[in-house]
Structure 1
């Protein structure tokens, strides 16, 4: 495999539909080499998906799987040196809205079967383009912020006075095992996030003494800080509260140290604090794009600095499988990798080379221990019964051998659901979950349960027989008629009342019963409520579509974590402008909109009693470019953290905005 970045150039552009012209996704391949090119195929992938029924000018559609698209030139076509081949695709699963929607990876398959990688730039919008935005938006610290100290999320009670020069750092004096553990965790945290700043330092280097001690009467995450001229004390019931007190102290120090004309370090007074919500989470999809151990660890440090306490780790999806399972090594041998000629093709901007990765058990144990030390519990997700294309590539015996025809998921994957009628399904999953439970001692396992296509299992004799037994011949026959009917090319199917919903319900009931027998709480996306068969006392749901659905489910007695796509999905763009990166299916949400969003607006008291908390969700489709990750995630992650922690009446966008630029980011790419 060789590179052809200098000899072939690919330019992609987007032309929205007009009254006299259909939409067009235009790809121009230019041959800058000195040789003619014939018998080739152009392969592209990115978040955007070509519709299988699209008309194509200048070529034809070859293999297509989700966002992987193979485009074929006309029969006998030769691309001469310095000539350009232009293909116009009229038909997409959704209209492009942002520069990251088009091809983010491309390569040629040559007549001899070899491949040539091609560089791709931002997709251009016909009619004019501003430079594409990358990196965190600037949030400068004002000369006169609304409050004297820089803290995010804002505490429950701040009663400080006076002003002293920020000390060189802090000398931590711990009384007892819990205080010592908090001091060690804070020291490691500051080294991971701000290595050269010396927030923790010895008395010989001028460290201000900080006394840490346990104090009865505090909730688990609550704390109190008392300022004096020559010392500070932090009190809490245990390690996590003490750590959070130190984090607040560290934030105050950084504001006063870096911006002494704007923020102060108090000479006297107290801060008393406790969160308003128990569950303050972040979901990270590592299936669409892989994040290495170092990235995960630093992200966890950022969560802790924001007082977020749950990490929802999305370890499997159609595009890959990311966790080592001893009983089924093929899951990582096959399912963790994408590339030309592999069972899972290049997707979402990956090229022809073998790319991907997975987390070994040793890596996971280390990450879990680190997270626990900084107040974070990890919830692994294995997304079932849908979103299982990679899993089925690795374990093909999960399929009904007599299944016929095809159905497609909203993301364009064929036949991607585990079969609820197969005993092999449960044998494999129970084995996998037992290994996961040993790795993740929080004993909360998320099972996905989202976006099962309405045609799922419509060609499986085993599934149809099971459906006939449960719901009668009429429903089984109606479901069989969904075979080969293409659905959900423009949005996830609503499957309530369908044969697919009935089959998923029996699947989820059995899986949730098994997990409960292992002492585990089951998490699911809101679709896990289909059929109302799961035990509400041992389950929580993540509400993602809109707040009406979350409110209704809370009213039915489900414990809810609120994460609506419209406000808390951090892959959504910051604005509707083409030059912003990100997705658009749920709209867009500027940082101020995310901050101001009320997750329980209109909920009654009974519904609010079933609110477990809030969660930001990072779906990684547009984030191959890590500068795009920074732009999309920050500071909206901090905005959601404050909603989960701070009393609503104490929130202030102006105060938040003034300190947002002091919060750490994952990569720190310069703004572009």
Structure 2
């Protein structure tokens, strides 16, 4: 079979040349949003961006052209928007079509000259060079934090102190994660007050060692924010547990300390919970013959789920690297997987016509049903108990306008509680669910929309994540919420980096080149400074069908996320680009292809 596709203006032209006669074949593929067929076949079904097209009878060797387009004003931004995972459904079984090249092109690092300062990302607070180089003595001996750095260096193939050389440790009354390094010709002294400070002092030393002989001087450093995060969507694409361990390594090398694990969404619930095993058993695999079709997949079927042993291994690895793991369960919307497995979580009399941004109908659970609370409270209890961080993210983003307004049960609840509209009912629901989280001894977290509702939103001391921009975060902070800034225009690393049609990724928030990751101020309004507790990068996986595609999307842009999360002062773009170019070893350590 031969299959090619190309963007032509607002539409996509595909050519199928079969290697056999085909009668009654149905072409199946996934797109980034709902699609229509303008010529060459008839759309006969689908779910969201997954599309099924009945083809006319085709003859072997005869090219057949198909003209398709995104619905609702979406326009293909680049080759990542071409049909994903195309296959033919035939009486003889499914036939995979060639998918071509997937993922980013090799990364082009800027050629901007030598750096003025230390080759460390993020940059330390202060550095005073003394001249000369250091050949250190044996140091203080074993330390868990420095042993974790040495193990990290070995895993990533990085230079570390040779046998017989070490670090002298001294306790100092410093802030969490802060440290001081003093490097003299024959000695390295590290001062810190906690495990994080010793680890990050070791990480800075690791960076310096990659640049060659160790220069002498005095360095002091402390993070701007306590929350320095990176999010990963493992619902749209199942990443092998080892890939998550690798991501934790990358985060530690950049002094990031919060891993936001998004394992539940419309397309899957991937955590192997005991309270409702059917939830992950029926959604861990997607594709032909499964409950959900091959959404966002390059395969006829693909997927997986995470066992409790996987969770334990990830937590152990994270703990050694001073990283806390934040799980997310995602309600009330983005719940197609949940409602397909458990239709009792929707009012059967609901006649609403609301559709999500992703093109799904019925993607929200109904808070007026006792079954909803029975299920959600059990999930909250079990998932929360698995993760010692003591925080649980409840989701709460992109609820379609008008959700529940066609449900008689929801209408009755609204009248009983004095609520008016979707936002009020969402606020009521999130406040009740967050109270359950608090009763379980944890702190609730949610996306920015959780502040909506006449009741003031989720409440309960929740942390909100501002993603559509910084404005909602500022408003939430003024309402008294603690806020993590993750504006899509700067830290959504699934966004394409340019308008080049040969690029890869989304574009709804604009293009996010490397320079944009440092071209913003996490605290644009000083009156809310005490409520802005962190910065977090985000990676959604609609465009990812292979684990290896992750790294050239994250790197080097995640370095900008780390700089904004750690550094006390904003680094000029030109200096940052030089710094990234000087630290190309970081990309090599994660097998990121570099343009020659």
Shorter-chain TM band: over 0.9
Residue 42 (str. 1) matches residue 24 (str. 2): no
CA distance in 1, matches of 2:516, 2:239: 28
CA distance in 2, matches of 1:91, 1:200: 55
TM (norm. structure 2) is: 0.94
Alpha-carbon deviation of 1:437? Answer: 1.8
CA distance in 1, matches of 2:397, 2:458: 18
Residue 266 (str. 1) matches residue 215 (str. 2): yes
Alpha-carbon deviation of 1:357? Answer: 0.8
State the match for 2:41 in structure 1.
59
State the match for 2:166 in structure 1.
209
SS of residue in 1 equivalent to 2:484: strand
Alpha-carbon deviation of 1:600? Answer: 2.5
State the match for 2:372 in structure 1.
425
SS of residue in 1 equivalent to 2:586: coil
CA distance in 1, matches of 2:101, 2:65: 17
| 1:240-259 correspondence runs (5 A) | 240-256=196-212
Alpha-carbon deviation of 1:59? Answer: 1.5
Residue 282 (str. 1) matches residue 233 (str. 2): no
Change (3 A) 1:270 1:72: same
SS of residue in 1 equivalent to 2:80: coil
Q: Which has the greater radius of gyration?
A: 1
5+ unaligned residues in a row in structure 1: which ranges? 1-7, 17-22, 124-131, 257-263, 476-498
Residue 180 (str. 1) matches residue 152 (str. 2): no
Is the contact between residue 295 and residue 666 of structure 1 (CA under 8 Å) also seen in structure 2?
no
Is the contact between residue 133 and residue 671 of structure 1 (CA under 8 Å) also seen in structure 2?
no
Change (3 A) 1:506 1:513: same
| 1:125-140 correspondence runs (5 A) | 133-138=104-109
State the match for 1:227 in structure 2.
183
**Aligned residue among 444, 454, 459 for 2:406:** 459
Change (3 A) 1:550 1:170: farther
**Aligned residue among 84, 91, 111 for 1:104:** 84
Is the contact between residue 172 and residue 183 of structure 1 (CA under 8 Å) also seen in structure 2?
no
State the match for 1:333 in structure 2.
281
State the match for 2:538 in structure 1.
617
Alpha-carbon deviation of 1:509? Answer: 1.1
Residue 12 (str. 1) matches residue 28 (str. 2): no
SS of residue in 2 equivalent to 1:161: strand
| 1:407-556 correspondence runs (5 A) | 407-471=354-418, 499-531=421-453, 532-534=455-457, 536=459, 538-556=461-479
SS of residue in 2 equivalent to 1:79: coil
Aligned residues: 591
5+ unaligned residues in a row in structure 2: which ranges? none
Summarize deviations over 1:417-475 as a string: whole Å, max 9, x none. 01110111111111111111221111110011001111322332211221232347xx6
Is the contact between residue 193 and residue 302 of structure 1 (CA under 8 Å) also seen in structure 2?
no
Report the more deviating stretch, 91-100 or 382-391. 91-100
Change (3 A) 1:171 1:542: farther
Change (3 A) 1:657 1:669: closer
CA distance in 1, matches of 2:139, 2:199: 11
SS of residue in 2 equivalent to 1:424: helix
Change (3 A) 1:212 1:405: same
Summarize deviations over 1:447-504 as a string: whole Å, max 9, x none. 11001111322332211221232347xx6xxxxxxxxxxxxxxxxxxxxxxx221221
CA distance in 2, matches of 1:554, 1:666: 38
State the match for 1:3 in structure 2.
none
SS of residue in 2 equivalent to 1:37: coil
CA distance in 2, matches of 1:664, 1:577: 22
Alpha-carbon deviation of 1:667? Answer: 4.3
Change (3 A) 1:85 1:468: farther
SS of residue in 1 equivalent to 2:533: strand
Alignment RMSD: 2.2
Summarize deviations over 1:91-127 as a string: whole Å, max 9, x none. 5241011111111211000135x1111112369xxxx
Is the contact between residue 512 and residue 534 of structure 1 (CA under 8 Å) also seen in structure 2?
no
Is the contact between residue 428 and residue 457 of structure 2 (CA under 8 Å) also seen in structure 1?
no
SS of residue in 1 equivalent to 2:214: coil
SS of residue in 1 equivalent to 2:260: strand
SS of residue in 2 equivalent to 1:515: helix
State the match for 1:163 in structure 2.
132
Structure 1 ranges of 4+ moved more than 4 A: 139-142, 169-172, 534-537, 664-667
Residue 593 (str. 1) matches residue 502 (str. 2): no
Alpha-carbon deviation of 1:214? Answer: 2.1
CA distance in 1, matches of 2:335, 2:437: 19
| 1:341-420 correspondence runs (5 A) | 341-353=289-301, 355-404=302-351, 406-420=353-367
Change (3 A) 1:170 1:278: farther
Alpha-carbon deviation of 1:198? Answer: 5.1
